[in-house]
Homo-oligomer: A and B are copies of this chain.
């Protein structure tokens, strides 16, 4: 953080909490008697409550999407590039709401919370959560905040899955769905990467079948490997090449040298893995990747995405990135085709970027312009 806040920042923000005592029946059939969601808001809700935008976070995200918690913070929220005064999601126009998802580990009820039935942390006993459950809790948050209809529901990656589920679960409660770098379901390869990450966590002897808190430990090594696997899939081959190439961090290839050689990409990945392992809960990671794997937008519509989208009542804005190989442009095009088949209004932009899946978080001029223009159109609609 600089000494002064940047002028296009939402500034210092304080997380808020919704405590919900109305029991929630999950897709799994399990019932949560009560739970809380931590969330942040940026901007002001207008008088007729028509300018609210819901931002849904992805696998490793949180409610802290923009601004700073303290003047000392080195980094702003995860989507600060696109949320703030004058930015794509312009807080001069919109009231932005971003909750931490149920089952997460940043303050919303999840595996590290106390199970009221036992007085101990839920751990691996926390019920399975599906994308649909997140949407239901987000709808309750909307009720709580007095928001009958979102101007837009917006999200990238796993966040985009929440957006499309919103369009089908509560078709009357959103006017626009902004779906970025996402897909209607994971491919077998996506699932395979997630499963390998879970296996790395479960193989860690500190995992203890998920009851690591009772053993006063945490499967950090396994979680770090899981994050490394994920991280590689978020970056394009090209981006990694640009960022690291085959540059060495230590050692040399001098003939006759038996010193260990280490490439920069290795230490970077290990560092990223370690940082993540110190801030994320392993059971949450397993729960969230399972929600990703299980998500299948058209499952209960006879696996027909056209039939699924025929229930939507909002306009769609779909964005993909050219070098994203985790959710390639082809997956977005499938979604766009299904939307067109269902005669839904859809705008689609494919953005050139060399940064892979991560591009949805990063500065990119064409992405910024397209995103800004689309959101500005929503803002204009509110005024007319």
Interface residues in chain A, defined as those with a beta carbon under 8 Å from any beta carbon in chain B: 27-30, 127-128, 185-189, 191-193, 195-196, 199-200, 203-205, 221-222, 224-225, 228-229, 232, 235, 237, 240-241, 243-246, 253, 255-258, 260-261, 263, 265-266, 269-270, 273, 293-294, 296, 299-300, 325
Instruction: For A294, list chain B residues within 8 Å (CB).
Output: 253, 261
Q: Would B225 and A265 count as touching, CB distance under 8 A?
A: no
Q: Would A188 and B245 count as touching, CB distance under 8 A?
A: yes
A191: contacting residue among B221, B224, B263, B293, CB under 8 A: B263
CA distance A237 to B300 in the complex (A): 25
CA distance A228 to B237 in the complex (A): 19
Q: How many monomers of this chain does the complex have?
A: 2
Known: A128-B258, A188-B245. A263 touches B293 (CB 8 A): yes
CA distance A222 to B219 in the complex (A): 14
Instruction: For A241, list chain B residues within 8 Å (CB).
Output: 187-189
A203: contacting residue among B28, B221, B255, B293, CB under 8 A: B221
Nearest chain B residue, comparing its CB with the CB of A220? B203
CB distance from A359 to the nearest CB of B (A): 16
Q: Would B28 and A193 count as touching, CB distance under 8 A?
A: no
Q: Would B255 and A29 count as touching, CB distance under 8 A?
A: yes
Instruction: For A28, list chain B residues within 8 Å (CB).
Output: 256-258
Known: A188-B241, A205-B205. A195 touches B265 (CB 8 A): yes
Nearest chain B residue, comparing its CB with the CB of A190? B237
CB distance from A37 to the nearest CB of B (A): 22
Q: Would B192 and A240 count as touching, CB distance under 8 A?
A: yes
Q: Would A265 and B191 count as touching, CB distance under 8 A?
A: yes
Nearest chain B residue, comparing its CB with the CB of A30? B258
Q: Would A187 and B256 count as touching, CB distance under 8 A?
A: no
Known: A224-B203, A225-B196. A186 touches B299 (CB 8 A): no
Instruction: For A185, list chain B residues within 8 Å (CB).
Output: 246
Instruction: For A293, list chain B residues within 8 Å (CB).
Output: 263
Q: Would A296 and B228 count as touching, CB distance under 8 A?
A: no
CA distance A359 to B30 in the complex (A): 45
Give 5 nearest A-B pairs by CB, closest first.
A29-B256, A203-B221, A188-B240, A28-B258, A189-B237
